[in-house]
Chain A
């Protein structure tokens, strides 16, 4: 291990180059460069100005010289008309040609000995003829100058005697070696000025002065208006010797440097932004440098502390060579964990103390060595010096210098033997539980009901009392199914699937919400009430639907797994299939009811039998008493006759009793055509039917057959038909309808009449009693309906009677299966 030395980052002189300073210097350099460039540009502008002025002067000079040259040529041509002898020939003709073809020339003169004698055009210039220029003060000197120079010299501008201003170029002419005079050319001043190009000169920057030194006064006379705003020392001048004219060009306004402003501005922006950019560019490494410096300081401190911590740590730490796996250093806690002293470990391979290194651990060490990862965790079993195995949690962390690959790593080791044992036990428990859950003979499911709780909370009924919850769902019955359907199945066992008629767990869980749709709202409400009132256990008998839509009765229990009472995220649901039990129970209840009914009937039967038998025996006893007290043979005969009647009645009672006790409906079952059997009964009653004008409608279809004891069926129908005729309404002809219908598993025989009817409120509980009759019908014995009910019930059916007094009666014989 080593720490970084802060001197590695000491840069000597450069350490003073802070970002602010560096960018400041950079800024100044840029400003200086900018200054130099601007200066150079100003010089160029000034040089350009001078060149421009010189060019103007040059052009002006060329223009003037062209004019003067032209005038000189004209003067020389005019001079050719002067003969050697001093006479003049063809002056006018030549002059006319020249003047007509040369617009610059106003007039041509021949001035012998200074006197103007010839002039073209003469017209308008007559006043000049005869003038001796040597005698004119203002013209004399200039004329003399031409003679002195021996070349053409331009005088003026002169105010002409004939009017106007003109420049006069005089060429001295010599004949026969003597001064003859002048050949002169007059150029209109305006023409002269225009030909110079200066008259229309217009510039905002430059001015032009055009002047002539008066040879008489030696003072400048300006031919064009003099510029008054001239900037001193800015002008250059040129003298035209042919007339002693002076052209001056100078500046009348200061140089315009506005074109430089944009450059200056752009340069300023460039200087500033570059400096700022440089500042930030330099700042980041500086900051990093600062941070590194601080970290290094901290590291140095930490290194001092490390050893202390290493030695006193409450966790086992060792330093291992990453290549050889040799233990470099171990702390006391490590020694304690592996039950040895430092010398037992240091210098030895760490592998000596590993029980069985896992492949992943080894792979991670390789990755650590290759710098692919920097740390990893693993669980290992270590072996102590004494050969004891200990489970540990190890956290490996590679250590290396900045420019090196990892060469050793630090291992933090935590003893997790207890936890591991606990986890192992827990895993065994979990496995056992899973096995129990999966293979339980009880249908089990693990479900998440938290969403239901959330919905109840949103409805403000979670934790409310039962009445509030019921009131809420009473008001919002449409909310029951959507909320109850939010159950989420987490796991289900095999028995659960078996009860639901499938073995496909995935398919069932997918279809579970559809299956829940069919659960009746009342059952769902009860579950919701239990959940809302924070029941942690709930038991109910309910119906479930299998995946094949078969309904089953189940005993459902659920309880919240401890620790999940607040959220209901884990709830165990057990369902016990009680369909068969319930079927048995229903059958039992039915049988019990039947037995109770039969018992009641037996009691009634015994009561009636007892009553009737005693009735007969008491009559016999009374007859015997009467016989003992009989006074005559006639009386005795009468009493014997009575005795005969009573014994016959007794015999009849015994016969009927025998009929009841011998009745067995389950024998002699045969397939009976119902329609034909009814027709046979109608034939049997033909006489009575004809006598009473009874209409019997056999509405049973001709192909309907039932499996039944035919004789008993006929006996039942005979009783009902005979009753219908017997209790016919006195005011209408009897109409009897016999019908048969099948609905599902149930078949119903219907015998309907329009007779006197029975007041069921009054006699409802008596009509099927033995020996019970209604009305004064002597042929009634009170046995018919008793036998009907007795036989139908003995065959597994039941009798329902509907009747309205004065309207009629309907008997329905209902069988579950016939």
Chain B
């Protein structure tokens, strides 16, 4: 399974998508950026990439509350799709500061970090380094 230095932003909030992309550009990131508005579209992208033999993104910025397929469902589907994704980092970037979500993220093998919104440029900097 190939992974490349690319970023996948999965969030139904278009403003957030635009701002994050802008921040990444400002940080001089050359990584390709893939944007999805729900988990299902992102999952289909991963599946297609795997099917085509394309490299998978190494960083995923994942929102929790989304239509069609939310963040938790996406994580569950990825866990089934990629049993041991060593080079994949998934950051839960969400407006939720509910303890239930934080605990759930802590217990997930796939979640690298739980980041409450707003995501600051310096945090984004650390993620892409």
Contact = CB atoms under 8 A, between A and B. Distances in A.
Interface of A: 607-608, 610-615, 617-619, 621-623, 625-626, 629, 642, 645-646, 771-776, 780, 782
Contacts of B95: 610-615, 618
B122 to A, nearest CB: 10
Interface in B95-113: 95-98
A385 to B, nearest CB: 99
Interface string B77-110: 0000000000000000011111000000000000
B68 A622 contact: no
A614 B15 contact: no
B117 A626 contact: no
A772 B98 CA distance: 17
Mostly, the B contact residues are loop
Contact of A642 (B19, B67, B97, B119): B19
B121 A629 contact: yes
A618 B98 contact: no
8 contacts: A607-B98, A611-B65, A622-B19, A622-B23, A623-B15, A642-B18, A774-B68, A775-B67
Contacts of B37: 776
Contacts of B117: 614-615, 618-619, 622
A615 B63 CA distance: 11
Interface in B3-18: 13, 15-16, 18
B12 to A, nearest CB: 9
A603 to B, nearest CB: 9
B2 interface: no
A765 to B, nearest CB: 12
Contact of A621 (B38, B97, B98, B118): B118
Given A614-B95, A772-B67, 10 more contacts: A610-B98, A614-B116, A618-B119, A622-B19, A622-B23, A626-B19, A626-B23, A642-B15, A775-B68, A780-B67
Contact of A619 (B16, B96, B121): B16
Nearest to A613: B95
B121 A625 contact: yes
Contact of A614 (B23, B26, B96): B96
Contacts of B121: 625, 629
Contacts of B118: 617-619, 621-622, 625
A480 B25 CA distance: 83
B15 A782 contact: no
B97 A615 contact: no
B120 interface: yes
Contacts of B98: 607, 610-611
A646 B18 CA distance: 12
- Among A618, A780, A782, chain B packs the most CB atoms within 10 A around the CB of A618
B15 A619 contact: yes
B65 A774 contact: no
- Among B16, B22, B37, B120, chain A packs the most CB atoms within 10 A around the CB of B22
Contacts of B16: 615, 618-619, 622
A646 B97 contact: no
A623 B96 contact: no
A611 B96 contact: yes
Nearest to A763: B68
Contacts of A618: 16, 95, 116-119
Given A607-B98, A611-B95, A612-B95, A625 B120 contact: yes
Nearest to A625: B121
Contacts of A775: 67-68
A610 B96 contact: yes
Contacts of B26: 629
B96 A776 contact: no
Given A615-B95, A619-B118, A776 B13 contact: no
A774 B65 CA distance: 12
Contacts of B96: 607, 610-611, 614
B15 to A, nearest CB: 5
A473 to B, nearest CB: 49
B67 A619 contact: no
Contacts of B13: 615, 619
A335 B114 CA distance: 111
Report the 7 A-B pairs with minimum CB-CB distance, sorted nearest first: A618-B117, A618-B118, A773-B67, A615-B95, A614-B95, A621-B118, A622-B19
Nearest to A619: B15
A269 B21 CA distance: 151
A617 B116 CA distance: 12
Given A610-B97, A615-B95, A646-B15, A622 B119 contact: yes
A614 B106 CA distance: 21
A351 to B, nearest CB: 101
